[in-house]
Structures are given as C-alpha cells and as structure tokens.
Structure 1
Amino acid sequence: MRGRAAGPVALIVVVAIAGLTWIGVNTGGGEQGKAPSMTTSAPAPPLSSPTTPVSPSTAQAQLDTLDVKGRAPKTGYERSEFGQAWTDDVTVAQGRNGCDTRNDVLRRDLTAITVKPGSRECVVLSGILLDPYSGKTIDFMRGEKTSPAVQIDHVVAMSDAWQKGAAQWDRAKRTDFANDPANLQATDGPTNQKKGNGDAATWLPPNKAYRCTYVSRQIAVKAHYGLWVTAAEKDAMARTLATC
C-alpha cells in the first residue's frame, strides 16, 4: 500500500527497524479540495526519527522472537475498528502536535515541501517524494485529483494485523497502531494499491534495494505490538534478510 516554501526544507526519515519509540495501509486517496495558492517555508516541526536501523542479523534475531501461528479469520474487521483515520489524538511520542498523521508523514518523507499558512502550518501543499517502494521520484501536489498519487502505507497492513492479534486489542491500541509513524510510509499510490493487505509472503516492494529495510520495519512493528507471523510469512522474511 501505500506520499513527497521558499527555501526548501529537507526532512529525511531514517527508516526502519528497531522497536523504539513508535512509527498502518491508506486504502484510498488523499485530501479533498483544490490546492490553496498560498505557501510558506515554515512548516510545523518534523516527526523525530521513529526507529534506528539494525543489522540483518539483529532483525533475524527479532523475527525469531515472534510467535508463528495461522492467520485468524477476518471476521469483524472494519477500518473503523482502528479509530478515526489520521487522528492527532494518539499516545505515541510524536502525537498531539496539532497536525493530523497524514500531513505529519508527508512532512517527514517529502522534500522541497510547501505548506498552507496558518493552523500550525500543518497541511502539505506540494513536495517531492523519492519513493522507497518503487524507486520513482514523484511530484506531489495536494488536490482532489492529485493527492492520491502519494498515499500513506501501513507497513504492516491493518487487515493483516487484525488477523494476527489486533482483533484482541482495545480501540486505543488499534488507533495508536494505525497512526504510528514507525508503521507509516509515504509511497506511490498505484504501488500501494497493488500491495493491498499483503504480508511479506505475498508482496514485497518492487524496488529490491528497499526490501531489507521494509521487512525489518515489519518485524520491528510486529515485535513492538505483539503481533504474530504465519510460517510462510516468516520464511519470506528470513529469505529476504539472507540477501541483505
């Protein structure tokens, strides 16, 4: 599944992989409405780096701590079970900053951004995404027809999480999971749609150079939240880490 001022502001995230202070799939497009004409070079403060990169051997060791079980039924799953989409009201460290999670992630993952003045200057109007999933460079422009070009992916999909432990969580924990920056990545919209709700056994980023990081992020998220993996998923993760 699956986004990119006078004076460019480069906000670069160190992606992925240990279970530290925490970083869910955008199933649809972006914000609605036409792009406002005013911009500013002073966006709200970026999110802190959600995780610290780890070695493949460390990721493998963390993978080995995860429970291995079959996929539970999808019965009862609805997007609403994970709370309001892109809320700011979460308990992870970078929450409650006055900006919704989607715009937080756009500010973190895009460069050369412009933002809408006022209201904490949260809303990203434009920017450039070097998409880690596809390897493409994408020009982002906010608008009803253009926002879906950049979507926010839940690295561990919400439906996948539901079938591997999240169905037993309370609403607050599911809301945190769905808005946790460690589990969110701005990415190419069509690529995000191809991923769907897949796990590592059914989908990996087409950009092979990013697969080690991607799998390590999934492992870190699952370890942090106490989710399990299927046998096929664990095998796919281990095969990927063996190539790193």
Structure 2
Amino acid sequence: MTRRARTAALLAATAFLAAACTVEEVPEAGAPPPATGGPALAALADLPVKGRAPKTGYDRRKFGSPWADTDGNDCGTRDDVLARDLDDVTVEPDACTVTSGTLTTDPYTGRTLTFERGRSTIDIDHVVALSDAWQKGAHTWDPAKRIAFANDPLNLLAVDAGANRQKGDADAATWLPPHTPHRCAYAASQVAVKEKYGLWVTRAEKDALARVLNPCPGTPLPAGDAPTKAPPAFSAPR
C-alpha cells in the first residue's frame, strides 16, 4: 500500500471512530423533554417567558363588576357558566338564574357535586387567575380587555369551591388539579387563555406545563370565540 493510500485509510478510520464515539447531549436533570406534539404543546412553545411582575396596583375591581353580561344575552356570566357546566339544570322564570343542577364530574376533584343556589359548594374559577394575569401582562391592559378576560368562558370553569380556594392565584408551577385525569385539559386551557390574551409565563410555569402535556401530546388547544374587548357600555377603573 502506498503512503498516500495508508494516509487516506487512517483519516477514514479516524472519522469513523469520532462519529461512533459522539456522545448525545443529555438534557439537564429535572428538565422536561422538548415540547413537541399537538396544538397545545405547539402553542406552549410559542408563549413568551419572563419574570413575574409585581402585584402592585392589583385590584379585582380593575377587571370590572363580577359576572357582567358581556355577551349581551341578558344573563350574567356566572349563570352562563353554570348552565354550560352543570347537568339537570333548573332556572328561575327569568330563564337565566340557575337554581340547581349537578356537576357530574368536578374537574378539580373528580367528585360529583350538587348545586343549590345559596347553599352551594361550587365556585366559578378563573383558570388563569386574575392576579396571575395581572402579574404577567394584564397590568398594562385597558379596562375593556380586562373585563373581557374576567368574563371569557374560555377562562371559566364550575369547580369544587374548596379546591378553587386552595388554588388561589397560583399558576401551574405551584398548583395543579388533584384530579389527575383533568390535568392535560387544565394545562391546555391555561395555554389557550395565555395565548389568546398575549400573557407571558415564567420559566418554572412553562416547564410545569410541558411536564403535564408531554405525556398527552395530542391534547387539543381549547378555542373560544369571545372577543378580547368588552363592549363600550362596560367600564372599569384603571
């Protein structure tokens, strides 16, 4: 074998060994796998990541009067959500005020709950809490957008009152529904609301949402057609 041939063979062998010995990059311990998959994961990947802004200036009243009739159907938002989420619903003669019904499977606990007006253990939860939204972008919004957010059916669920109060204004990094079969849908709803309203997430929150959604990568992204601005008739203090 000539010197040139021996040199070529040596270079080829070196390249082969280098390729064979290449070590695949290992993700940092505890980090969720890359977000790939269905619509919810794709939307999560696009959410901006920032630190939590101060809660300074937050006031529930800056999101308008509770349960305003922003869709113009002459019924308050709370009754709209109860009528949507409960089974065997009864209403008062005004055709709006829900007086009783059954939450067949509470999304937060998995229990069956009975609604009876005035003695209920059911709350209407903001999936993305108003205070959490305030600290991740809503403090810059005009009143019409905050009112729309607080009354958007996409961001509202009838749930167990105890679980709702345990959640408080937590994001997905610090609270998830105890009823684990609902966690994929809950995470997808969080992502859908934050995408719709242009809210950001913290790094810990984004990682937590990815950990929930990666085992169920086909989870769809919930959609809602409510506008992100309340009608001009509604107003709220800045």
TM normalised by structure 2 equals: 0.74
Q: How much does 1:133 deviate? A: 1.0
Q: How does 1:26-45 map to 2 (within 5 A)?
A: none
1: CA distance, partners of 2:145 / 2:72: 16
- Equivalent residue pairs, number: 180
Alignment of 1:83 with 2:64, yes or no, is yes
Aligned position for 1:133: 108
Alignment of 1:123 with 2:97, yes or no, is yes
Cα distance change of structure 1 residues 123 and 56 upon mapping to structure 2, 3 Å threshold: farther
Q: Give unpaired runs (5+ residues) of structure 1.
A: 1-54
2: CA distance, partners of 1:233 / 1:201: 4
Q: How does 1:1-244 map to 2 (within 5 A)?
A: 57-88=38-69, 90=70, 95-117=71-93, 119=94, 121-129=95-103, 130-143=105-118, 146-147=119-120, 149-244=121-216
TM normalised by structure 1 equals: 0.72
2: CA distance, partners of 1:100 / 1:203: 28
8 Å CA contact 1:56–1:241 kept in 2: the answer is: no
2: CA distance, partners of 1:165 / 1:56: 27
1: CA distance, partners of 2:113 / 2:75: 23
The residue identity in structure 2 corresponding to 1:243 is P
Q: Give unpaired runs (5+ residues) of structure 2.
A: 1-35, 217-238
Q: How much does 1:56 deviate? A: 5.5
The residue identity in structure 1 corresponding to 2:167 is K
Bigger helix share: 2
The residue identity in structure 2 corresponding to 1:71 is R
1: CA distance, partners of 2:144 / 2:61: 12
The residue identity in structure 2 corresponding to 1:80 is R
8 Å CA contact 1:66–1:229 kept in 2: the answer is: yes
Identity level (%): 59
Which is higher, the Rg of structure 1 or of structure 2? 2
The residue identity in structure 2 corresponding to 1:133 is Y
User: Which secondary structure does the structure 1 equivalent of 2:183 belong to?
Assistant: helix
2: CA distance, partners of 1:180 / 1:56: 27
User: Which secondary structure does the structure 2 equivalent of 1:64 belong to?
Assistant: helix
The residue identity in structure 2 corresponding to 1:208 is T
2: CA distance, partners of 1:132 / 1:74: 28
2: CA distance, partners of 1:167 / 1:139: 36
Q: How much does 1:64 deviate? A: 1.1
Q: How much does 1:58 deviate? A: 1.6
User: Which secondary structure does the structure 2 equivalent of 1:190 belong to?
Assistant: helix
RMSD of aligned alpha carbons: 1.1
Structure with more relative contact order (C-alpha pairs < 8 Å, separation 6 or more): 1
The residue identity in structure 2 corresponding to 1:87 is A
Q: How much does 1:57 deviate? A: 2.4
2: CA distance, partners of 1:211 / 1:114: 30
CA deviations on 1:173-216 (whole Å, 9 max, x unpaired) are 00000000000000000010000000000000001000000000
Q: How much does 1:132 deviate? A: 1.0
